[in-house]
Structure 1
Amino acid sequence: MSEPELLVRFTEEDAARALRNDARDGLTDSPKWLSPKWFYDATGSDLFERITTLPEYYQTRAEQQILQRRALEIAEVTGAATLVELGSGSSEKTRLLLDALRKTDTLERFVPLDVSGSALRAAVESIALDYPELRVHGVVDDFTSGLSALDAGAGRLVAFLGGTIGNLLPAERAGFFAAVRAALRPGEWLLLGTDLVKDPGRLVRAYDDARGVTAEFNRNVLRVLNRELGADFAPERFRHVARWNAEQEWIEMRLRADRPMHVRLPELGLGVDFAEGEEIRTEISAKFRHDRVRDELAVAGFELRHWWLDDAEDFALSLAVAR
């Protein structure tokens, strides 16, 4: 077994700087916002794992079902020698792809990329142990900016799963797809997970579960700001709101102040006033249709070759080739 490698391109100092910049930009904007990337400290990651098991939250189960059925076909179509996973986390779902590519005997390298060094280190060590024939090269970086420096490798398949693409605004999505295409050669592949447009009631329930786990996950971003920036948010004074935006076809998660308040952020030298009922947008989660996925990929230089759905037609996996 070759020793796994871990390249740190996004340090703790980089993360602290990015948090300060995002908090200052978002909390001084009108309307206020915070980036969803700051949900995922250790507590937030644990809460999200709980969310994925809730009855209202179908996405993880739906994508898993598709991968279980289609992983071998994906391996056969792509013949990938290098699998790159963006936003890797624990890499659990990717094991289905690794197992399939092991069967086709084409895979040589696995390159997981994630902004969390601790999560990625654990994933890299686990994968290297269970797949000793692979060269495993983890990259600690933000998936929205780390693509340009990825090792060229050979015969690459880039996997971006979990519907995370929906957290990007349309202009950000366009930039992301363009960056992925710029990093790939013609004939290399992108595997994309997207949640689909469906009954708004089901969508809202998926982001506002009866047990309140998603509400705690949403409020956790304020606890991150309290810990990292010395802020004095009172998270319990902010109500979790999940709203369907029919025009944009996305879910918006927000935190609504239940009274007027003044919040101090000493690390930023900043004070922020909230009116009663004022909201912070913390996440969008865009939902997709086939034609939108096909057209956005085409603009970036990809051709959509395969479109796979789960039984309930809630979620899609797209396989696209770089032209």
Structure 2
Amino acid sequence: MLLCLTAIATGIALRQIDRAWFARGRPHAADAAQLIALQRARANNWTPALLLVGQWIQITGWWLLAAHGPLAAAAAAAGVAVHFRHLQEISHFAIHGVLARTPRANLLLAEVFAHRPLGLAPATVRRTRHVRDHHPNATVTGVDPNLEELHQAGLRPGAARRQAAIAFIHPLTWRGIRTTAAGIAANVGHAPGRVAALAAVLAAAYLVGGWPAVICSVLVPRLLLYPQLAHLSLLVEHTWFDPQPRTGTRAWVEAGRCLRLYPHNHALAHLAAITWLPYGDLHHYAHSAHPSLRWNCLRALERHLNEPHFTPTALLLGTNSVAHRHLNALTPAGQPNQWQQASNARA
């Protein structure tokens, strides 16, 4: 157990180096130009590498923990799923070219530490889909690949209430699990390097924690828990089904189709930021307004910008929740959604 805690603590310490480096000289609130200048002055290749190494050292600690009984294995499954989400978001900034100093380093770090070991699509493919296809066309039907992903999960205009509700947990359904597995298989293909990377993760987990680590700290997180966390993060990025069309500055346009979860609940915002909305994902509106900013600067930029037009206080429950808004936008006129039905029943 001491070795588990030591590995986790070491990983956390390594991750703080990148955080401290980019915090130096950062203002409390500033416009994009000031923050980009600071970001360029601090850009390097070594702190991002330490950040990613720290993530995998922590994962190793969870692998060690998985062998200490059922409760420990369950904790390890949740811990590793969170770290997989972290790796996804760190690599997201790499494909935007702002994780490390050079384009080559950005793609290399994304591939070696996230895309290959997690069975994600090649970084160059993700860059095309995300930077070129999604960002300029967010919430546009037939163009935005992220919106198409939600449609495939069952979140479509006119969807039955039960279908739309189940779509919120799509990755945990049998259809969702098959989609995840098929995606991994397609991403890996017959490329020897990608097959070897996945095999290396499984082998390392087995050597560190045996079969409990392989099953509970690789397969369960990768096939079930991490996809669900990523799915929830996607749901809270935009007002997907009823955006407010706007023209004008980029920040003004994005304010009409983005949202900001937990704007005034600091406890829930902090919990989300260290688990399922890490590395700036909680501040997706600021990221959409200025995609060339690293996550370290998004909070300062957010304080400088006006709020987006939707600032929900909850994810699933209540009239000001993300789920309530999405289901209202998807439910045909005159047909109450399940949240409204529940409220009417209580009344």
Q: Shorter-chain TM-score: which interval?
A: under 0.3
As a proportion of its length, which structure holds more strand?
1
TM-score between both structures, scaled by the size of structure 1? 0.26
